[in-house]
Structure 1
Amino acid sequence: MECTRTYYELTLIEPNEEDILFIEKFRKWGEINIYLYRLMMGQNEVLEDYIEHVENEYEGEDEEILVAIFNIVQTANRFKYDVNFILERFKDKINLSHIGSRHEGEYSEQNWNTRLVNFFYELAVYYLSRSSYESGMKALISSMELSINISNDPYLIKCVNLYGEYRRFANEEINVKYQQILQSNNIA
């Protein structure tokens, strides 16, 4: 966190306009990252501040909002936080139709798709561990499909293992989809 504070507190003796823009950008990034680090250390009380700062800084940038939500879900899984209010608040941004529909942004297509695989897997873990089986299975199937599309075998294996753990809670539609995914990719 000390390095983050360094670029958060960046100053120049005689900054020009461009310097001021970059100093302000680094200050905002530093502030967001400090909240993120605190959240990832288990300080749940910064959650609202973190998401508010991300929303303000990245308004209209769905990719960055989703990255922040991924960080929140991952932390929720680690510390057993309830973040349903965040997921509800951003349900339109979390819409599973984000798979395959990517616009230009800061991330390469491969990097973004890998982030989505991770995101939907963590979302599945979150929902399944809270007995929200339908939402969890939908997120898990999305992670599986995208894992196959980008040849991310380690995450595909994690998805298959997680599915096996929660198989008894899958409805018929999810079971059929799961079998189709495996069969169409010569996995079954």
Structure 2
Amino acid sequence: METTATIRGEIVKYLQNHRMTINQFAKISGINSGTLSNIINGNRPMSMHQLDRITEGMGLEEGQFYGLYITESIFHTTPDWRRLGPFLGRCAELDKLDCLHKAARMTMENINYAPMLFEMAEEFFNREKYKAAALLYECVAESEKFQHSERLALCQYRLFVMELSDNVEANLKLAVSFEHYIDRLDDEYQLDAYRKLINVNISFQRWDTIEVLARKMGHKARLQYKNNCKIAIMSDGQEKPIIFYILYSFLIQANVRREAGNFEEALSYLSMYEDPDWIKAPSDQEKIIINQFKEWAKANRYLYRLMSGDFDVISEYVNYVEARTDEIFTALCNIVVAANRHRFNIDHILEKFKEYQAYKPQRSRLGKISEQVTMNRYARLLTELGIYYLNSKKFDRGLTFIIDSLEYSIRIKSDRGMLRCMGIFEQFRQYSSKEIQKRYNDLINDVQKLSVYAWSPQV
């Protein structure tokens, strides 16, 4: 019998060291003695279930022999999905991702396995085994990189969604890379993919790109709606009415005009999502969406007047959002920007909404607000609060907010945010205390470390 570095050899060694017969080990492992004998003698391939039984019977850690199993049952034999599928599943369960990746790459030498690996990746994705799913999506995408298949596009979409993080610079790279594939996605996935791309680009205020994406999303959503398609699929598998994407496209295009200071055009788009009378016999879920957009429209009417310099509207705006706690954080961000633009005094509002100056995930009646959007708003809020207090000559308080914003920008790796905070601090450095200067210098060291890491040569 074999005694080399194989699974069979390890079994034989175990039996010898423990002076155990095959029949005795068969009782311990729960595997038929004849089957066990054939496995040891190389007359029968070993299933995943049998391998796990044998490993447990030997008192070893689960997955102990998975590396050897890849070599013996995958690399040196024609892959059999009846063995490979369960093996990949167990690797995901035990977090043996190195074994999963190695086996999947070996398997992809035969592109006929791409559909099966893709289906398993989808299974992992639905079970929230995201790291395992990502490895399989990458393998499938690599094997089909010269194809123009919907499967390739969905792989890239899944990877885009799973890899989004609180690293805003990395998110932008993901968005730019994925954008090339979006039009190849099935229609049911495209709309939410556009929404996610828009939200990532908002973090960088890439308004030209955002407008293009919003127009495309709105156009595709209207076409689907006219074709009596009422539901789109979100990245987490949940369904969302298509009217959301139509109204959201109008809201985003209004925001683009608002950022450009063109409030007249912004109002024309606002009216499109404020009163969508083209929606006939809306469902209960659609009614919730319609009402939420109406509320946003009313808040934005106040906002446009405020941004235009009409300070008299601020009490109405505050009273409106105060009764809608989900809207206070966004309104506070907008009010501080307007105050800095027009030199308004908003001390009483900042005191009223003091608890909303801390970061926390945001929600609306439609669900959780995109984390990318919330991160961008919070970083900007900290900076704008700093500018507000600096303009008021409250230098210590203002610089503290600038340092807070710098620290947060470092955490989310926002180059734009870091540069802005550093520029403001240097402008007001002469007014900073020793304590604030020390904190700033410590953070600058962190910025330098990030730069060294980002530009270090690959060896």
Output the TM-score relative to the length of structure 2.
Answer: 0.36
Distance 1:81 1:75 in 2: 8
Is 1:177–2:444 an aligned residue pair?
Answer: no
Q: How does 1:155-170 map to 2 (within 5 A)?
A: 155-170=417-432
318, 325, 331: which one aligns with 1:51: 318
Distance 2:299 2:352 in 1: 19
Deviates more, 1:42-51 or 1:21-30: 21-30
* RMSD of aligned Cα (Å): 2.3
Deviations 1:136-184 (A, max 9, x none): 1111011101111111112211111110111111112111100111123
2:273 maps to which residue? 7
Instruction: Give the residue type in structure 2 aligned to 1:92.
Output: E
1:39 maps to which residue? 306
Alpha carbons 2:361, 2:371 under 8 Å: kept: no
Distance 1:14 1:146 in 2: 45
> 1:91 deviation in Å?
1.2
Q: How does 1:86-165 map to 2 (within 5 A)?
A: 86-95=349-358, 98=359, 102-103=360-361, 105=363, 106-165=368-427
Higher relative contact order at CA 8 Å, sep ≥6: structure 1 or structure 2?
1
Distance 1:128 1:117 in 2: 17
Q: Does the C-alpha gap of structure 1 residues 26 and 176 become closer, same or farther in structure 2, counting only changes over 3 Å? A: same
> 1:86 deviation in Å?
0.7
Is 1:28–2:291 an aligned residue pair?
Answer: no
Deviates more, 1:70-79 or 1:44-53: 44-53
Q: Does the C-alpha gap of structure 1 residues 186 and 7 become closer, same or farther in structure 2, counting only changes over 3 Å? A: closer
Deviations 1:98-147 (A, max 9, x none): 3xxx3464333333222211111111111101111122111101110111
Q: Does the C-alpha gap of structure 1 residues 151 and 14 become closer, same or farther in structure 2, counting only changes over 3 Å? A: closer
* Uncovered stretches (5+) of structure 2, i.e. residues with no partner: 1-266, 452-459
Residue aligned with 1:81, SS: coil
Distance 2:275 2:370 in 1: 30
Deviations 1:51-84 (A, max 9, x none): 2212223x2x3xx322211100101111111111
> 1:43 deviation in Å?
1.3
Distance 1:13 1:185 in 2: 51
Alpha carbons 2:361, 2:374 under 8 Å: kept: no
Is 1:77–2:343 an aligned residue pair?
Answer: no
315, 331, 346: which one aligns with 1:68: 331
> 1:21 deviation in Å?
4.1
Distance 1:40 1:120 in 2: 19
Residue aligned with 1:5, SS: helix
> 1:16 deviation in Å?
5.5
Q: Does the C-alpha gap of structure 1 residues 162 and 9 become closer, same or farther in structure 2, counting only changes over 3 Å? A: same
Output the TM-score relative to the length of structure 1.
Answer: 0.84
Q: Does the C-alpha gap of structure 1 residues 147 and 14 become closer, same or farther in structure 2, counting only changes over 3 Å? A: closer
Instruction: Give the residue type in structure 1 aligned to 2:437.
Output: N
Residue aligned with 2:309, SS: coil
Q: Greater Rg, structure 1 or structure 2?
A: 2
Distance 2:305 2:399 in 1: 30
Instruction: Give the residue type in structure 1 aligned to 2:394.
Output: S
Instruction: Give the residue type in structure 1 aligned to 2:268.
Output: E
Distance 1:104 1:6 in 2: 25
Instruction: Give the residue type in structure 2 aligned to 1:168.
Output: Q
